[in-house]
Amino acid sequence: MRTYRIATIPGDGIGKEVVPAGRRVLEAIAAGSPNFRFDFEDFDWGGDYYRKHGVMMPADGLDALRGKDAILFGSAGDPHIPDHVTLWGLRLKICQGFDQYANVRPTRILPGIDAPLKRCAPKDLDWVIVRENSEGEYSGVGGRAHQGHPIEVATDVSIMTRAGVERILRFAFRLAQSRPRKRLTVITKSNAQRHAMVMWDEIALQVSKEFPDVKCDKELVDAATARMVNRPATLDTIVATNLHADILSDLAAALAGSLGIAPTANLDPERRYPSMFEPIHGSAFDIMGKGLANPVGTFWSAVMMLEHLGERSAARQLMEAIERVTANPALHTGDLGGKATTAEVTEAVCAMLASNAAANSQAA
């Protein structure tokens, strides 16, 4: 029996509601499997920790996570602390500290979900967005001088390295190759940004030669938004910079029905460090503390975690349970137009897993 060591970091806002829900569901799936179990360790980092200690996580925090097999994360963002402090002090510290350079965001319209694109059949929207997660516009390079004076100046320098671009493109090509349609769209803005984005296009062309079976095209990011809405079926795997893919994936999540459903994985594909799995939504200040958060984004992120750990059958079982729950409108949370609570959705998924496990053991 294999034991996976999992760090849970609920963070702030509804992260404190959806991460415990995710842990419950993972415990339920392990209870039904003879092959593995989980050893969870919870970390109370985030806004409350900041109020006590002046930092979002301790200075040696990464060392506490280093030996874990994976991290399940909620959200960083507190109504009383500036967003750039919470984000850089916790989530980006982990992403960059563990060089989780590939951010992977699958998007599908799950059964039972009323998505806004009325001309699009659910099967026409099946994408994976790959976001460069270590450099680019969010490299953190820049500064401010003469603050508050009329001559004040501020810069955010976008850093693109050949090594960084090459590794994310190669990852995206490999992912596209593993999907049935073997299709990759490389998104840049190489008309207006004439240095780094032109380098992206050049490197994409070079890397594409290593993957002759992948059909590759390119699109400018502004045109890509229109294409996502008007011709969703022409897209499959998508790769873009840190900023562009951040924006495109919120659009993708909305087109799939709700931000509350969308999952993401921050991967170190070389597995030198633990990878981190999280719903793409934030702290949701408007509903936090009320038990109304949709936990499905966290559950789907847990599916990605199981896949990363190599537990394919458990991943499939959990995804099936999630889809059977979304198919029932009585189990929809407020973001989907329903009245269900976080706890009700969580119990329903756990019950589905338990009944599957019982059916399997009877069949065996």
> Where on the chain is the footprint of ligand NAD (CB under 6 A)?
14, 75-77, 83, 87, 91, 259-260, 278, 281-287, 293-294, 297, 333, 335
User: Any idea what the Cα angle at residue 284 is, between residues 279 and 287, rounded to 5°?
Assistant: 120
- Interface with Mn ion includes 132 (CB under 5 A)? no
In the bound complex, what is the minimum distance in angstroms from residue 105's beta carbon to Mn ion?
10
Name residue, tokens 């980092």: 45
297 binds, among Mn ion, ligand NAD, none (CB under 5 to 8 A by kind): ligand NAD
335 binds, among Mn ion, ligand NAD, none (CB under 5 to 8 A by kind): ligand NAD
63 binds, among ligand NAD, Mn ion, none (CB under 5 to 8 A by kind): none
Grouping H, G, I as helix, E, B as strand and the rest as coil, residue 211 is coil
Q: Which is nearer to ligand NAD, 111 or 291 (CB)?
A: 291
Residues of the chain by 3-state class (helix, strand, coil), percent to 5: 45, 20, 35
Q: Which is nearer to ligand NAD, 164 or 263 (CB)?
A: 263
Q: Is 178 exposed, middle or buried (CB count within 10 Å of its CB: 0-12, 13-18, 19+)?
A: exposed
In the bound complex, what is the minimum distance in angstroms from residue 258's beta carbon to ligand NAD?
7
Please count the residues of this chain forming the interface with Mn ion, following the rule CB under 5 A.
1
Name residue, tokens 């951010």: 103
| Residue 265, C-beta contacts closer than 8 angstroms, at least 6 positions apart | 102, 103, 104, 105, 275, 276, 277, 301, 304, 305, 308
Stretch that binds Mn ion, among 114-122, 242-250, 251-259, 267-275 (CB under 5 A): 242-250
91 binds, among ligand NAD, Mn ion, none (CB under 5 to 8 A by kind): ligand NAD
In the bound complex, what is the minimum distance in angstroms from residue 130's beta carbon to ligand NAD?
17
Return d(Cα 303, Cα 297) in angstroms, integer. Answer: 10
In the bound complex, what is the minimum distance in angstroms from residue 281's beta carbon to ligand NAD?
3
Q: Which is nearer to ligand NAD, 9 or 30 (CB)?
A: 9
Buried b (16+ CB within 10 A) or exposed e, 111-121: ebbebebeebe
246 binds, among Mn ion, ligand NAD, none (CB under 5 to 8 A by kind): Mn ion
Measured between alpha carbons, how far is residue 163 from residues 132, 138, 159, 215 in Å? 12, 16, 11, 23
- Interface with Mn ion includes 246 (CB under 5 A)? yes
In the bound complex, what is the minimum distance in angstroms from residue 249's beta carbon to Mn ion?
7
281 binds, among Mn ion, ligand NAD, none (CB under 5 to 8 A by kind): ligand NAD
Return d(Cα 87, Cα 139) in angstroms, integer. Answer: 13
Q: Which amino acid is at 300?
A: W
User: Within 13 Å and on the Cβ side, how many CA atoms surround 202?
Assistant: 9
Return d(Cα 66, Cα 363) in angstroms, integer. Answer: 40
In the bound complex, what is the minimum distance in angstroms from residue 339's beta carbon to ligand NAD?
13
318 binds, among ligand NAD, Mn ion, none (CB under 5 to 8 A by kind): none
In the bound complex, what is the minimum distance in angstroms from residue 106's beta carbon to ligand NAD?
16
In the bound complex, what is the minimum distance in angstroms from residue 84's beta carbon to ligand NAD?
8
Q: Which is nearer to ligand NAD, 35 or 285 (CB)?
A: 285
Stretch that binds Mn ion, among 8-16, 116-124, 167-175, 246-254 (CB under 5 A): 246-254
CB 178 within 8 A of CB 236: no
Q: Which is nearer to ligand NAD, 175 or 292 (CB)?
A: 292
87 binds, among ligand NAD, Mn ion, none (CB under 5 to 8 A by kind): ligand NAD
What residues does 187 pair with on adjacent strands? 219
| Residue 153, C-beta contacts closer than 8 angstroms, at least 6 positions apart | 144, 145, 146
Which residues contact Mn ion (rule: CB under 5 A)?
246
